[in-house]
Amino acid sequence: MMLRPILVLLAALALAGCGAGGSDVQPSATAAGTTVETGAEAETPAASGSPDISGSGLDGEALSIADFRGKPVFVNVWSSW
């Protein structure tokens, strides 16, 4: 039926995505005649800290994210609108 050609096509696409294309960085000429290295990743500055988030717990006690300094925290933010 049509299932076999579709599976062959999906397998071919999967193998094509696993190609041996490397990440070669090559210089390119700009309008001013200088060369710029392309493909380089820019560094992202480190975060300065967590934002000041406060709220209430399930028992109504006031909580602040600063209370959990040094511990992993998952903040689940959602709304019921």
- Is 77 inside any structural domain? no
**Confidence (pLDDT) at 61:** 93
- Give 39 or 70, the one with higher predicted confidence: 70
Contact 65, 75 (CB under 8 A): yes
> What's the domain count of the chain?
1
The confidence score (pLDDT) of residue 81 equals 72
Residue 81 lies in a domain: no
pTM, full prediction:
0.33
Residue 27: inside a domain: yes
Cα(first)–Cα(last) distance of the chain, in Å? 48
Q: How far apart are CA 16 and CA 20, in angstroms?
A: 9
**Alpha-carbon separation of residue 14 from 5, 8, 10, 11, 58 (angstroms):** 14, 10, 6, 5, 47
Q: What is the pLDDT of residues 12-65, one digit of tens each?
A: 888 887 766 655 656 555 566 666 666 667 777 776 777 788 888 899 999 998
Residue 51 lies in a domain: yes
Residue 73 lies in a domain: no
